[in-house]
Amino acid sequence: MRPLTVEGAWLLEPVLHRDERGSFHEWFRQPELRAATGRDFPLAQANFSISRRGSVRGIHFADVPPGQAKYVTCVRGTVLDVIVDLRTGSPTYAQWEAVRLDDHHQAVYLAEGLGHAFAALTDDAAVVYLCSTGYAPHREYGIHPLDPRLAIEWPPDITPVLSHKDSTAPTLTEAEDLGILPSYAQCISWYQTEGGTHERSSSIPHGGPSLP
């Protein structure tokens, strides 16, 4: 795993073992993630989405604490995965990085407080992501993925297709005014709190399925 330019995000580039049957790789290993990030990853929920070409999902984030760390991979097709630093006071605040997830089977880990989005570059793009906390609508938010202040460079050859939720999400400036963004200080404190890790792994809120 190697760190990305947005602090708190890492990219896994796995070794693929190929033979006449196909290929095999390890897409998640707790010891490797801990060695890279210094943190455990308590699994509370796993999500699976299928998107047609041009679909943009996000930018999604959650209150910290407890937030929601994610571990994301694309199992079919290709997506442009985007990580956005929404932690006010962070040295990389309002910065973003995009990575292509495809049949090379990369995976992205992003810590609590970071925003996540992706665009499907192929039809039937299938994305799987592990979550450190369960779906909790009362503490989950979004930022408009086409916010000109963030100026995310979505592929020019697609026409973004957004859900109603994402198309009506506030801009980053509006989110600042609403006071819904996590602070960098809160996130750092949470990352360093062993009690927080325990709470995330033992408390899974009830609710309907999240539609990222």
Task: Considering the candidates 60, 105, 116, 144, report the single residue annotated as catalytic.
Answer: 60
Q: Is 104 a catalytic residue?
A: no
The structure tokens 């996540």 sit at 116
Q: Is 164 a catalytic residue?
A: no
List, in order, residues 6 or more apart from 44 with CB less than 8 Å away. 131, 132, 133, 134, 200, 201, 204
Between β-strands 9-12 and 2-3, what pairing exists: parallel, antiparallel or unpaired? Answer: antiparallel
List, in order, residues 6 or more apart from 63 with CB less than 8 Å away. 139, 140, 141, 182
Nearest to 203 by CA among 61, 111, 64, 66: 66
Task: Considering the candidates 129, 135, 141, 184, report the single residue annotated as catalytic.
Answer: 129
The DSSP call for residue 146 is: T
List, in order, residues 6 or more apart from 187 with CB less than 8 Å away. 8, 64, 67, 87, 90, 111, 112, 113
Indicate which residues carry an active-site annotation: 60, 129
